[in-house]
Amino acid sequence: MDDSLSTRLMDNGQRRNVPESAHNDSETIFRFGLTVRLLHWWTVATFAVALLTGLAMGSEMENGSLFHLHVAAVIAMGSGFVVALIFGNTVAVLRFVRDAFLPERSDFEFIARVVSRPFHRTGVRWGKFNLGQKGLAWMMLASLTAIIITGINSWHTDGDAAGPHTTAVIIALILLGVHVFMAVLNPVTRPALPGMVFGRVKRSWALHHHAKWVEDEDRRSARTLVQSQSRTSKHDQD
């Protein structure tokens, strides 16, 4: 971003016209808004409750309270997404889904470089999420879908078809464990956790691991600042 432009705008008292994502300080960068953060933690919490109650029940469906809590957790998980879309920042949620699940140019560049030079560093400039993060997101979504489908089938057969459901739950637990490890324990990816808690991450970390995303955000912030200056100047002239 042009620092002189940013300074002029702030000196003119126009910070109030600039969105949070455009406030580019030297140490951190805005990553996730409130709606996305709440949706993430709601999904994690309900996913964990569904898994734990399912494990506690095993193949026994007679435990009414646990079964009802299990079903309620699954319904609440899906309802949280709908509520976030309707009452939260819809655009932010859709952008998060796009960034976390849809492939982009850097993903194909990584695959091409690995195939052509398998034992060399790829040097890919990642967007908001890298290919590994997207792969984990897809696997967790697939495991959740399998849990729901096999769970309904197991319920209809009074637990006689619990084998596939149990397998899906175990796979989901492993994937959730990988997600927790990467978010909390792995020193390379652990700096991303504040972004899902407070909304911001260290700029130095983001530049090292998600350079393309940082560049895109800086360009968007600069464009927002210029538009804000233009609107303010036009208002002053009127």
Report whether pLDDT(163) > 50.
yes
Range scoring the smallest mean pLDDT among 60-69, 75-84, 116-125: 60-69
**129 and 92 in a common domain:** yes
**What does the DSSP 8-state code read for residue 185?**
I
Model confidence pLDDT, tens digit, residues 11-35: 343 333 444 444 445 699 999 999 9
Parent domain of 238: 1-31+200-238
Of 97, 67, 102, 72, nearest in space to 85 by CA: 97
CA angle 77, 78, 83 (to 5 degrees): 100
**227 and 139 in a common domain:** no
Its pTM stands at 0.77
Average pLDDT over residues 29-52: 93
**163 and 56 in a common domain:** yes
**69 and 15 in a common domain:** no
Model confidence pLDDT, tens digit, residues 91-115: 999 999 999 999 998 888 888 888 8
Q: What are the tokens at 71?
A: 């079903």
- Say if residues 143 and 175 touch (Cβ distance below 8 Å): yes
**113 and 39 in a common domain:** yes
**180 and 76 in a common domain:** yes
